[in-house]
């Protein structure tokens, strides 16, 4: 269940989201569509706990995204379509980056990296993802 009430995000006096409210029930599939500048990316970043709204409330499965952004980050992830970050990273950097985001120690990251690459028969050899 996702519930938003009067969700607003203002960037230097320009509203990206202007008092939007909605309810989505468990199992519903939704699409976020609109023209450039409509606030789609802003909404998704708020939903994923990456940015905070200027005002309003948002809960997902009982987690208050504004008060507990780490709680929501533990249950979902967000990958922007236009991010240049990942294409400049090597496979090792990418796996280490996400391991650190999830609070794993370096030994665990290295172990899981080896298991994953072995299972997929991959040899990254310093290759960049992009």
Q: For 31-59, what is each residue's pLDDT tens digit?
A: 889 898 899 989 988 988 888 999 999 99
Q: Place 5 in a pLDDT band, splitting at 50, 70 and 90.
A: very high
The class (CATH top level) of 2-73 is alpha beta
48 touches 73 (CB < 8 A): yes
pTM value is: 0.62
Q: Around Cβ 33, how many Cβ atoms within 10 Å?
A: 7
Distance CA 104, CA 101 (A): 8
Distance CA 59, CA 130 (A): 35
Q: Domain ranges for the chain, please list them.
A: 2-73, 86-119
Q: Place 110 in a pLDDT band, splitting at 50, 70 and 90.
A: very high
Q: Model confidence over 61-76: pLDDT tens digits?
A: 899 988 888 888 888 8
């Amino acid at each position: 269940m996702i519930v938003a009430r009067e969700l607003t995000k203002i960037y230097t006096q320009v509203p990206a989201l202007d008092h939007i409210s909605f309810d989505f029930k468990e199992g519903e599939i939704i699409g976020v569509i609109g023209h450039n500048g409509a606030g789609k990316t802003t909404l998704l970043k708020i939903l994923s706990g990456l940015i905070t709204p200027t005002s309003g409330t948002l809960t997902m499965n009982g987690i208050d995204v504004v008060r507990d952004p780490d709680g929501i980050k533990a249950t979902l992830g967000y990958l922007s379509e236009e991010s240049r970050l990942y294409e400049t990273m090597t496979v090792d950097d990418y796996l280490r980056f996400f391991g650190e985001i999830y609070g794993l120690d370096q030994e665990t990251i290295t172990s899981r990296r080896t298991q994953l690459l072995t299972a997929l028969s991959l040899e990254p050899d310093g290759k960049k993802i992009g």
